[in-house]
Structures are given as structure tokens and as C-alpha cells.
Structure 1
């Protein structure tokens, strides 16, 4: 379970967000904080993995909370901003400090669920990876794209890439680049390039299986919803 601390100065809003998070499989709310100082204490005591973090707090901002935790040498949880702040400086600073995403209030439950499910997939990949080569790093960064953006990407695929996507999605189990190349009638490097691009576009998942030699075998499967 992913442990979530909800941070919002409005008690009613914080409770509503906590109820929404608890409806999503794989997440558990470990506390609600209504000020930066309270959140700082709960980060230490409750050890959340993810903060659902408002920008506007009565003592200091949500982003200042992240800075304070880092300066104090505390483990800084991953965080998803949920805020009414729309100025570009806030967005830029949130990105610089490592925000997973930035949701502008008001937002729907579906929008929150989409971001949390994207985070869950990303966190599972991070936990499973024993080390990060460039392809794994590319995958982890691409997983931060949400399903709505992935859907838009499918409309721009050129025919051969669309065929590669069809091959993988119709396979009974995860499939490797060599198998895709055989079906496609192309070279393995060509198939690999298309597969890597489809992973970056969030249309396929990369599955790394480590054999007895310790070398990863790259296999591909349809993107999990």
C-alpha cells in the first residue's frame, strides 16, 4: 500500500481528499495535516510515501515544506501538488523541486484518480528496478505521462509503428524485439527503435526480466490502464 499524507489548510477539503484517496486501490491515508508545521511533524512520525500537498498553508507554503524537509535532512516524500495556484512561477518551482504532478483546483475525482494511478505504476517500477540503465530511466520518466495524454499520442502514429503496437497488444504474453521483428518482417534494431518509442509514448510497458547471468531481457506488453 502507498501511504499518503493529505496536506490542506481547509479541514473539509482535506477530509474530502482523504476520502477520495481511500477509494483508490493501493493507497492508504495515514494522516491529514492543516499547516506546514503539522505536516512536517507527520512526515517524520507517519512516514508517508506520497504527499497530496496544497500550496497555500497558514504558516508557510507547501513548496516551502518540501524545502524545509530537505534542509533538515529528512527523507522527502514524493508529492503531488493540489492547489489553486495558477502562476507559472509556482508551477516551475514545483517542477524544480520534483513534484510528480500539479493538479489545479477544482478538479474531478477522475482527474485525481488518474494521477494517483500513474504514480502507483511509476512507484512500482522504481521499487522493482535493481539498477537504472538509460532505457529504464527513459521508461520511468515516460510513466509520469497520464492516460489522457497517452490517448492523444495514438492518433499520430505512422503505419509501421501502429503495426508494432498491434503486434504487442495482440500477443498472448510479453514479447521481445526479436519476435516483433520476425512478425514485422524487419530487422531487430528497427523493431527495437519502434518499441522504445512506443514505451516513451506511454503506449507500451517495458518488462525487465533478470536471468541467471544478471543481464536483463527486455520484453514488451500493452500499457496497463
Structure 2
């Protein structure tokens, strides 16, 4: 369960976001705040994991809430706002925004970004050692699908990598994909990371006896 607090001055929009979140597993709305003061109080009382944060609030900028929470008590946050100025975007990034959604947007886009966040959260909970490969893979999860058209018109080698993963009965490491296709491990890893970003395959971390995670890849069809 990912406890989510909606912060938006518009009561109607806040209700709509709560309804949308209920349709996206495992997100659960735990409250709606309509001002900075109300949001500060609710963060302390309900202790959310994630904020959906508007910037235009009656008593200040939504990012002022984050500035006052920085540290161990700060939940993750996704900005949801009509603010399009680059200064707002820059400040949100500096404060650690997971993503910046510009209003208006549809349910599909909200679901996509929340799913990317959920996958990153799951990956961080599984990881014990932050190798560069692990970091790259986790950031790839957060970026989300790079090609919303699916697996059409993929480069030839990438399509072969995708087919190899899909046809395997068990999750494959990059070395396994490389050996089956006769390509280098680095090439296989590059295409695998791209396929994860496109949401065409999934990444899981498997810990061996030494405690170092092995990255394994399997088809997204297995989660349906």
C-alpha cells in the first residue's frame, strides 16, 4: 500500500484525483488538503508515503511545504499543477520531485507516472548494493516507457532481445541474453535497459550467496 495525500486548492479536482488513485493499485488516498497549513498538519498526522502536490495554494506555493519538510520526514512528491514557468520546474527538481505533471492531463498519464514510481519504489526496497548498473536500472524505471507505441518498429537487435526475454521460461540475466544472441553483454544490457524504460520487460533483482544483486529480466506479460 502506498499512502497518498492529495494537496490541491480546488476541492473538485482533489476529489477527482482521489477517485483516480483508488483505481491504481497499490495507491490509497489518505486525505485531501486544500492549503499549505492543512497540508502541513495532515503530513504530520497521516504520514503519507507520497504527495500529489499542487503549487497554487491560497496561503503560498506548494513547494514551500517540501522546503519545510526536508529530511527524514519528507514524503516523496509528484507535482501536479498548471504552473508552466521553468523556475517552478527547476525548483521542483531541486527539491526532489519524482515527476512534474502539467494540468490538464488524463487518467492514463497519471496511471503511467504512478506506475513508474511504484516500480522504482519496489526496486529500491529490493536493492541492497547500489552498483552503477543498479542505479541505471532504477532510474530507467522512473523514466517510464520511452516509446508509447509499444514494440512496433523496434531496431532489429532490440527486437531480438525482446523476443529472447519473452520466449524464456525463466527470467534471464544480461549474460544469458548475450549468450543466446551472440552479442556482447554490454550491448545486451543497453537494449534491456531501454526495453525496461519502454515497459516491454520487467526488471527484478536476485541476490546470490555473496549478497550482490543479479539483474534478471522477464516479460511484462507475466504480470497480467
TM-score in terms of structure 2 length? 0.88
Equivalenced residues, count: 222
The 3-state SS of whatever aligns with 2:6 is strand
Q: Contact 1:54–1:81 (CA<8 Å) still a contact in 2?
A: yes
CA RMSD of aligned residues (A): 2.3
Q: Contact 1:206–1:221 (CA<8 Å) still a contact in 2?
A: yes
Quickly say closer, same or farther: Cα 1:81–1:193, change in 2 above 3 A: closer
Q: Deviations over 1:75-112 (max 9, x none)?
A: 11111111111112111221221111111112212221
Alignment of 1:43-58 (within 5 A): 43-58=43-58
Q: Which residue of the partner structure matches residue 140 of structure 2?
A: 142
Deviation, structure 1 residue 128? 1.5
Q: Which residue of the partner structure matches residue 41 of structure 1?
A: 41
Gaps in structure 2 of 5+ consecutive residues = none
Q: Which residue of the partner structure matches residue 166 of structure 1?
A: 163
Give the distance between the partners of 2:213 and 2:87, measured in 1 at CA.
41
Q: Which residue of the partner structure matches residue 221 of structure 1?
A: 218
Q: Which residue of the partner structure matches residue 80 of structure 1?
A: 78
Quickly say closer, same or farther: Cα 1:170–1:80, change in 2 above 3 A: same
Alignment of 1:203-222 (within 5 A): 203-222=200-219
Give the distance between the partners of 1:146 and 1:152, measured in 2 at CA.
13
Give the distance between the partners of 1:110 and 1:198, measured in 2 at CA.
20
Quickly say closer, same or farther: Cα 1:34–1:95, change in 2 above 3 A: same
Is it true that 1:183 corresponds to 2:177 in the alignment? Answer: no
Q: Which residue of the partner structure matches residue 29 of structure 1?
A: 29
TM-score in terms of structure 1 length? 0.88
Deviation, structure 1 residue 166? 1.4
The 3-state SS of whatever aligns with 1:52 is strand
Task: Out of 176-185 and 80-89, give the one that drifted further.
Answer: 176-185
The 3-state SS of whatever aligns with 2:56 is coil
Deviation, structure 1 residue 156? 6.7
Gaps in structure 1 of 5+ consecutive residues = none
Deviation, structure 1 residue 203? 4.2
Give the distance between the partners of 1:142 and 1:28, measured in 2 at CA.
25
Give the distance between the partners of 2:163 and 2:203, measured in 1 at CA.
15
Give the distance between the partners of 1:204 and 1:28, measured in 2 at CA.
26
Give the distance between the partners of 2:109 and 2:190, measured in 1 at CA.
32
Give the distance between the partners of 1:188 and 1:115, measured in 2 at CA.
30
Quickly say closer, same or farther: Cα 1:190–1:16, change in 2 above 3 A: closer
Q: Contact 2:161–2:188 (CA<8 Å) still a contact in 1?
A: yes
